[in-house]
Structure 1
Amino acid sequence: MARRDRMEILQPIIGQLAEDVWIEPPFFCEYGAHVEIGPRTFINVNCFLQDSGNIKIGADCLLGPGVQLCCARHPLDASQRVVSEPANGDAPYTTSSQPITIGNKVWIGANVTIVGGVTVGDEVVIGAGSVVTKDVPAGMLVRGVPARIVGPTA
């Protein structure tokens, strides 16, 4: 399927999608409506955006294959995670969500996971396989599980 055809399919699904975004299939999102993707951003294969909260990806970003942006959370207390008798046909588990914000000119390596509540500053590089659980200041290289600042990108 041509890029133009893919983008025509995604345009009504994604909340705000700049015209010159490039998304490689397969691509997965939970709702799509809570996603904003800035100009000239490239999203590689097998990316998953769990947009139960807002996800904002800036301009000129590169997301490697298998990146996961996961807004959803469950209570740490096991007794609060599953409700034995949900009301009104609701799901039996308890969730909440927090937004994810990715700045401009960010490179996110393959198989990175970023959890809800995280803001990644401009011009950040996140090493492949990292799990980002805390905010990352602009211009930093981070990597690891959990991701830690290694130093500046320049």
Structure 2
Amino acid sequence: MANKRGRDLFYRAKPLLNGVSACLRLVPRPAALWLWAISDWLPELLGVAFRYCLLKRLARQCGDNVRVGRGVELKYPERLSVGTNVSIHKQCYLDAYGELDIGDEVSIAHQSSLVSFQHTWSDSSCPIRDNPLICGKIQIRRDVWIGCGVRIMAGVEIGSRSIIAAGAVVTRNVPSGVIAAGVPARTLRVIEAQASDRRPKQNGG
């Protein structure tokens, strides 16, 4: 539903989707998570519509026209916020334990992972997996394109109108208006001059 045709279809169906979402608020959270898992069995368009309604029930915030593909796994969705006109493609993994905010007009390609916590390892008396976790909010600003197989780690902010190339591992903040790629990800080029750079220069300045 992310393209123009999908948006038109969404807004025509919005009253019905809102009605289903309202009914799902009566469903206990564990049952809603179970419904999320089995929604992959539904036909494509029906599954997209039902996952949208479930996301409205499960997430802290969910905007309009959000398309979620099959096999997307949600962890701690009550700490997840999703904007409007967002597409999350199949087999992505979203762990919002440390909070995860996805802005408007964001596209996340298939098999990407966003993990908002990291393990510590300082306590040698227990396995690393049992050491305390450190939370770190992930913030994805407006109009970001995340390529397939990207890994975004805890505490990262991705600035607006940026592109994260396929296969990148993002361990630090990415500024607005750039292409970032690599392991770890780094800025390759600027794709858009910032507003301050586009202002006409004054005489003598």
* Structure 1 length-normalised TM: 0.89
The reply on whether 1:55 has 2:100 as its aligned counterpart is yes
Cross-structure match for 1:34: 79
Q: Distance in 2 between matches of 1:81 and 1:29?
A: 28
Cross-structure match for 2:169: 131
Query: Which residue of the other structure, out of 61, 65, 68, is the alignment partner of 1:20?
Result: 65
User: How has the CA–CA distance of structure 1 residues 152 and 6 changed in structure 2, closer, same or farther, with 3 Å as cutoff?
Assistant: same
Query: Counterpart of 1:144 in structure 2: which amino acid?
Result: G
Once the two structures are TM-superposed, the CA of residue 8 in structure 1 deviates from its matched residue by: 1.8
Deviations, residues 71-96 of structure 1 (Å, cap 9, x unaligned): 1111143627648xxxxxxx943212
Please tell me whether the aligned partners of residues 71 and 98 of structure 1 are also in contact (alpha carbons under 8 angstroms).
Answer: yes
Runs of 4+ aligned residues of structure 1 deviating over 3 Å after TM superposition are 80-83
Q: Distance in 2 between matches of 1:81 and 1:116?
A: 23
Deviations, residues 32-56 of structure 1 (Å, cap 9, x unaligned): 0111111001110011111111100
Q: Distance in 2 between matches of 1:48 and 1:80?
A: 31
Q: Which structure shows the higher helix fraction?
A: 2
Could you say what the CA RMSD is over the residues aligned between the two structures, in angstroms? 1.8
User: How has the CA–CA distance of structure 1 residues 59 and 76 changed in structure 2, closer, same or farther, with 3 Å as cutoff?
Assistant: same
Task: Report the number of matched residues.
Answer: 147
CA radius of gyration, larger in = 2
* Structure 2 length-normalised TM: 0.67
Q: Distance in 2 between matches of 1:119 and 1:29?
A: 20
Q: Distance in 1 between matches of 2:126 and 2:77?
A: 25
Once the two structures are TM-superposed, the CA of residue 20 in structure 1 deviates from its matched residue by: 1.1
Please tell me whether the aligned partners of residues 72 and 98 of structure 1 are also in contact (alpha carbons under 8 angstroms).
Answer: yes
Query: Counterpart of 1:23 in structure 2: which amino acid?
Result: V
For 2:77, what is the secondary structure of its paired residue? coil
Give the fraction of aligned pairs with identical amino acids, expressed as a percent. 27
Q: Which segments of 5 or more consecutive residues in structure 2 lack a partner in the other structure?
A: 1-41, 193-205
Considering Cα pairs closer than 8 Å and 6+ residues apart, tell me whether 1 or 2 has the greater RCO: 1
Q: Which structure shows the higher strand fraction?
A: 1
1:58-69 equivalences in 2 (<5 Å): 58-69=103-114
For 1:9, what is the secondary structure of its paired residue? helix
User: How has the CA–CA distance of structure 1 residues 122 and 74 changed in structure 2, closer, same or farther, with 3 Å as cutoff?
Assistant: same
Q: Which segments of 5 or more consecutive residues in structure 1 lack a partner in the other structure?
A: 84-90
The reply on whether 1:75 has 2:113 as its aligned counterpart is no
The reply on whether 1:99 has 2:144 as its aligned counterpart is no
Q: Distance in 2 between matches of 1:92 and 1:55?
A: 23
Cross-structure match for 1:119: 157
Query: Counterpart of 2:96 in structure 1: which amino acid?
Result: D
